[in-house]
Structure 1
Amino acid sequence: MTAVATGADENNGRGQQPRALIVTVYGLYAREAGGWMSVAALIQLLAHCGVDEPAVRSAVFRLKRRGLLTAAKVGGAAGYELSATAREILDEGDRRIFERRRADAGEGWLMAVFSVPESERDKRHQLRSRLSWLGFGTVSSGVWIAPAHLLGETREALVRQGLDPYVELFHADHVGFAGTAERVREWWDLRRLHELYETFLARHEPVLARYRRRRRLDGAQAFADYVHALTDWRRLPYLEPGLPLEVLPAGWIGLRAADTFFELRRRLAGPAHDYVEPLLAR
């Protein structure tokens, strides 16, 4: 699963876009059922997330228009299946979102250096957007930086979008002049990241606290809480791509946010799946 960009949309009560919630649901559950889900099941599931039927249908229409979903009937039931592009994006994102990869300062850095002719400035915009989406920081307009472990993912993304002819990738060490931690604060907006982690924790730490006190779980509620948590979480590992702790502020809040998400996942993923599984056959 990945942090698929979904654009502006109506928000549910938690400020989440219906399209983002639908992508989460398809990424979690539809892929194991061949990539298809009935409209009826999707409407029933999204109702637990605070999204009404008109908003679901509107969001699905937009995802279809963007080429992420395609209409298909199974056993006479109307539904939508993931496109090949959507499957590829979701599969690629699983590692980033569900693995707690944290770089070590000794591993070095991945440098992306690009120069795009003015006649192809649309490619320049695409490159900047893609590198930003992958979690790169900005050294200068044509020099971007990320932890070295992002090499494979970066190479695949640039090749898939046909952007590789414009970029050179280097494995590098930072050797001066300012300290690396000081430069990281310039290359990434750590203040903004801190605020995003704070928002995540404000929403989901109380949810986790409630589950720590419960002995019995309601499947529908576990599903809704897990989908909300994953929808809020899945962009964060892209914005902060496992930067080395040595160059981050002491007591980095991202660790607490990750602990919260992964404990929620451990507690809720199973009951949520048990609730959804019978609906996938509809």
Structure 2
Amino acid sequence: MAADPSTSPGTRAVLDDIDARPGSTASLLRTLIGVYLRPLGGWISTADLVALAGDLGIPPAQARTGVTRLKQKGLLLAERTEAIGYRLAPDAVGMLERGDRRIFEMREMTDADDWCLVSFSIPESERRTRHQLRRRLQWIGAGIVSPALWICPGHLQDEVLEILDDLDARRWATLFRASAPVPPGSLVEAAAQWWDLAALRTEHLAFQESLTGLPTEPFAAYVRLIDSWRVLPYTDPGLPPSMLPADWPGRRSFDEFARLSAALAEPAWEHVRALTRREAPSSP
């Protein structure tokens, strides 16, 4: 799905990061760049980037086309130093840092944690903004209590404020911090109404299934692991156990990701360093 052309470049980067289908060329290249370009000093030669993409099974011509599209989307800037290459666009750094916090610091709520309630009333003349707000609240894992009242973990309040500011919708929204909700039925029933838990379950099971097909080579395995996982920490709000079915698969997903990430990260990084050592400049 293409990003809304009326949004700012920063917004497009955020939306595309969620929209890119895991396992696709666009998604794998974005994951590769997001994980490794900053540790490499923010720059990589075109030849090395294409070579690393090849290690992920992406043919050279397809990789070059994909990189060009990422440049058009504002993630990369063409820059020649000792060789032709790409530098990470400054506007993309904040998006990648937010992604790091989600991907590598997945938070699960407890019953003692606060909630953030988002109440908004956007005029009909701004229905496009209302549509974008609802889409982006869903993308950060917010649930729908009613069309104009959304709920998310309290630690996501700053992200909600960023979305409101980015859409110039702050004047139409009020945020509340709240303790545990008291619905008419059980918390499990309420959670199933506010979030699409059936879809989330399917995502978790698909992620777990993807682990059986990881490559044996650590670099390719690590990038594909991150790529398969990276959407889940956005769409899954990390609800407390009291709001989830007893057989909820989320805990297994979290544990498997943590285990495999810890085992693969260093050998994957060694592979990248060995391949790029000749041309990657020092950190500015």
Question: CA shift at 1:90, angstroms?
Answer: 0.3
Question: CA shift at 1:67, angstroms?
Answer: 1.3
> Which residue, 77, 94, 99 being the options, matches 1:93?
99
Contact 1:6–1:19 under 8 Å retained in 2? no
Contact 1:19–1:59 under 8 Å retained in 2? yes
Q: Which residue of 2 aligns with 1:256?
A: 252
Structure-to-structure mapping, 1:256-275, within 5 angstroms = 256-275=252-271
Deviations 1:220-279 (A, max 9, x none): x10000000100101101110211111111132011111111111111000000110133
Q: Which residue of 2 aligns with 1:202?
A: 209
Alpha carbons of structure 1 residues 254 and 239: separation in structure 2 relative to 1, 3 Å: same
SS in structure 1 at match of 2:112: helix
- In angstroms, what is the RMSD of aligned CA positions? 2.2
Quote the Cα distance in structure 1 between the aligned partners of 2:159 and 2:19.
27
Q: Which runs of 5+ in 2 are unaligned?
A: 1-12, 280-284
1:130 aligns with 2:136: yes
SS in structure 2 at match of 1:168: strand
Quote the Cα distance in structure 2 between the aligned partners of 1:82 and 1:161.
24
SS in structure 2 at match of 1:106: coil
Contact 1:26–1:35 under 8 Å retained in 2? no
Q: Which residue of 2 aligns with 1:27?
A: 34
Question: CA shift at 1:6, angstroms?
Answer: 4.9
Q: Which residue of 1 aligns with 2:111?
A: 105
Quote the Cα distance in structure 2 between the aligned partners of 1:176 and 1:192.
22
Q: Which residue of 2 aligns with 1:234?
A: 230
User: TM-score, normalising length from structure 2?
Assistant: 0.86
1:187 aligns with 2:194: yes
Q: Which amino acid aligns with 1:163?
A: A
Alpha carbons of structure 1 residues 232 and 120: separation in structure 2 relative to 1, 3 Å: same
Structure-to-structure mapping, 1:218-229, within 5 angstroms = 221-229=217-225
Q: Which residue of 1 aligns with 2:80?
A: 73
Q: Which runs of 5+ in 1 are unaligned?
A: 211-217
Quote the Cα distance in structure 2 between the aligned partners of 1:271 and 1:246.
38
Quote the Cα distance in structure 1 between the aligned partners of 2:193 and 2:131.
21
Instruction: Please list every run of at least 4 consecutive aligned residues from structure 1 whose deviation after the TM superposition is greater than 6 angstroms.
Output: none
Q: Which amino acid aligns with 1:180?
A: L
1:46 aligns with 2:53: yes
1:149 aligns with 2:155: yes
Quote the Cα distance in structure 2 between the aligned partners of 1:7 and 1:107.
26
Contact 1:134–1:239 under 8 Å retained in 2? yes
Contact 1:137–1:187 under 8 Å retained in 2? yes
Q: Which amino acid aligns with 2:16?
A: A
Contact 1:30–1:280 under 8 Å retained in 2? no
Contact 2:28–2:223 under 8 Å retained in 1? yes
Quote the Cα distance in structure 2 between the aligned partners of 1:92 and 1:7.
12
Quote the Cα distance in structure 2 between the aligned partners of 1:67 and 1:206.
32
Contact 1:205–1:260 under 8 Å retained in 2? no
Aligned pairs, number: 265
Quote the Cα distance in structure 2 between the aligned partners of 1:7 and 1:128.
14
Q: Percent identity?
A: 39
